[in-house]
Structure 1
């Protein structure tokens, strides 16, 4: 088989099968494996195992006619995990080593094909919606932040002058806590609105290390019982990317994948090189000719319905209940397209979802390697405090891998208990500023009272208003592993604050 045919087969959007004269499936592409699941993972996969009993043609007749003549598009009813589905099979005859094989490209019905064209045409609409949402978010975030800066500034001033026993102190702390939570929402809007304006450095790097690190955050979480499969291309093309932003994109896709899983959940992460000789459309991702790095994250979760699929990249659209703001995939879309790449999503209800992120490749391959330069290792004891368990897992994973002993607390009260008992002694507390019940500011004040020798570093998704004298002990979210390790190293080398 020619290399260009192999590429088309492996990277076809629709399922493709290579079948011998006896009905054995000798090869299946990635889309087919996702679509049909277990029957294609068996040692000897048979076309008959996919054949619906009420098909319009028997599998034997299909194989026989395939050697002579079949209609260009043959309707076939095949069995999927969620039930039977009719495909339009594009059948070709393939010769290899003097043997004859049938090459099946399983296209969806006409309505679904029309849907793909509509999705391609909607690429511009997605961009226009995103631009509109960015402008709206920018305006709201600016006005909202101005008001919140005033509220938080005056509250901070009053708190700094109020004695611990002052009758209004508890009320002021509640005002500050509520305003800080609102500021976190504003920060999300501000960060979302800045994604087409920020001009952070995009050095050339290897995406393998980033995606593996993101996967480790979820793998190390005790709550998630997931089977993970990593298919990593060791000679992956390099790409230009802002590490913090691309990490955010991968984390959001992985978070969605984990949330969609039920029992026997499985997530597959695959990195690969893609070379296109001509412009290619992968769902709504329109890719120009050239070389790309592709990171594909697939799951066997609940999938996405046909009604929801056209809206997945819309800002503020969400099907999740609770406090979700619907910025997730819109954020991913904005980050990736601002890197000159594309995002493609394919899904079947109750069968799973595949998200493919493409970034333009660079000429040179950057090998995976450890960071050089400053020694970022340590042996001290660090207490991580955050009400987001995912961020606790992330901090634990990063710091433990560099030799630190890490304790975690998801509330201020638990953190204060750990610090107070002084066994073990805490060398550094890393705390989020916005938490329910006991806020980060209140925790800092309590720690300074019971353990003034303990160093404290604060993190937040927004800039804390005021004089910012605490700049040296503050880390802005989102941050990379390198930024966290550098700040921790700096804090441990400085005098207690």
Structure 2
């Protein structure tokens, strides 16, 4: 905020000119850049330490092997050397994990169908998660040809399944879905992720404990863990991050405390695939409108994004940060609001509860939910109301505007 005095002919201050600039979007971009730089710096540090430490371990393991094979060495001392070797092997595994996070591991990519990889590892995942967790796979019938190191992608699936199992100590549902999505420039900019182009997508969802925003932001940092001491190194998620980054992909995480977690992994299609050969569709701007839309979203960044997308298409936008504010606002201005665009999961009053209150005021109210959870998870928790629609996060601006217009025209 700048304040500039305006003087009259006698040199006296008569007016004060105030100039304000909304820097919200700039602050959000700065925060994303800082997080990206932080992860890159951690990766470089971890990779450098792991590389140097590996050299030290080679010396330890080398001389240890010589001692173990020494015939004149007493049996008791051989046992002690073997203990040293076991500890060194564990340290070597740790450095290997750090190298995976820092994207310095050598990968051996080959072109293969992503669905085949999941089918291959599915039985193994069932054994990992145990009998009290139900595994459900929903694979798209189309081929998803990607250039990947099969072993590393299987490692990603194993790590995520293990994490999901730990988040569901009393059992639950783990779903794995595959799909194809073409990311455009608007999507990449809106979500701050990825490079435009065709992607194969793996969605992995659980009905576990979930996590808060602070935990979600740090989930990929090495050695960060919410588990008890001795029950994890804190490298599982950082390995996932490193492997996907090394495959030129990216990961999106959606989670709420007590309501489970969804990881969406985006891997670029192989250049040899039919999908990559297709020309990108020419973006046709969907028709906008002038109706009033109530946007209900607890995450400030996303609330601002939705406001910008909708207002840019001509709509009048009202904002609410939670279900209770939305219900109160709708009761006061029901005659004006043509559509409610609402996050399904919010702290306090959920989207479903807010919908019930809104429909008590107007039974014909149009409600469009947004959610990062897969449809299986939503149905298992009975979160979807009759007569409502659902858009999966992250939402492409074009898809959002098309769906909004479709619902308004009914």
TM-score with structure 1 length normalisation?
Answer: 0.45
Q: How far, CA to CA, are the matches of 1:275 and 1:135 in structure 2?
A: 31
2:248 is aligned with 1:337? no
Displacement after TM superposition at 1:339 (Å): 1.9
Aligned positions of 1:77-476 closer than 5 A: 122-163=31-72, 166-193=75-102, 195=103, 197-198=104-105, 200-221=107-128, 223-281=130-188, 286-323=193-230, 324-362=232-270, 365=273
User: Aligned in 2, Cα 1:361/1:174: closer, same or farther, shift over 3 Å?
Assistant: closer
Aligned to 1:25: none
| Native 8 Å contact 2:129 2:161 kept in 1 | no
5+ residue gaps, structure 1, are: 1-113, 368-497
Instruction: Write the deviation string for residues 363-421 of structure 1: whole angstroms up to 9, x where unpaired.
Output: 65589xxxxxxxxxxxxxxxxxxxxxxxxxxxxxxxxxxxxxxxxxxxxxxxxxxxxxx
Where does the alignment leave 5 or more consecutive residues of structure 2 unmatched?
Answer: 1-22, 276-410
Q: What SS does structure 2 have at the residue aligned with 1:349?
A: coil
Q: Look up the SS of the partner of 2:213 in the other structure.
A: coil
Distance 1:313-1:179 versus aligned 2 partners, 3 A rule:
closer
Q: Label 1:270 to 1:121 Cα distance change in 2 as closer, same or farther (>3 A).
A: farther
Q: Secondary structure at the match of 1:286?
A: coil
Distance 1:181 1:210, change over 3 A: same
- Render the CA deviation track for 1:169-223: whole Å, top value 9, x for unaligned: 2222223333333333233334433x2x455342222111112333321213484
Evaluate the alpha carbon distance shift between residue 142 and residue 232 of structure 1 in structure 2; reply closer, same or farther with a 3 A threshold: closer
Comparing 336-345 with 138-147, greater Cα deviation is found at 138-147
Deviation string for 1:216-259 (max 9, x for gaps)?
21213484421122111011331222222222222212211121
Larger mean CA deviation between 220-229 and 341-350 belongs to 220-229
2:101–2:241 Cα contact (<8 Å) kept: no
Q: Distance in 2 between matches of 1:201 and 1:185?
A: 21
Deviation at 1:277, TM superposition (A): 4.4
Distance in 2, matches of 1:119 and 1:230, equals: 36
CA distance in 1, matches of 2:149, 2:28: 28
Per-residue CA deviation, residues 69-90 of structure 1 (Å, 9 max, x unaligned), is xxxxxxxxxxxxxxxxxxxxxx
Q: Deviations over 1:321-350 (max 9, x none)?
A: 234232222222222222222211111111
Superposition CA RMSD, Å: 3.2
Q: Secondary structure at the match of 1:307?
A: helix
Contact 1:226 1:267 in 2 (8 A): yes
Summarize the Cα distance change of 1:292–1:171 in structure 2 as closer, same or farther, 3 Å threshold: closer
Deviation at 1:292, TM superposition (A): 1.3
Structure 1 159/283 Cα, relative in aligned 2: closer, same or farther at 3 Å? farther
Normalising by structure 2, we get a TM-score of 0.54
Alpha-carbon distance between aligned partners in 1 of 2:53 and 2:100, rounded to the nearest angstrom: 13
User: What's the CA shift string for 1:142-188, capped at 9, x where partnerless?
Assistant: 33233332232222212212358644222222233333333332333
The number of residues matched between the two structures is 252
| Partner deviation per Cα, 1:273-304 (whole Å, 9 max, x = no partner) | 11244431599562343321111001111001
**Conservation of the 8 A alpha-carbon contact between 2:129 and 2:162:** no
Q: How many angstroms apart in 2 are the aligned matches of 1:264 and 1:245?
A: 27
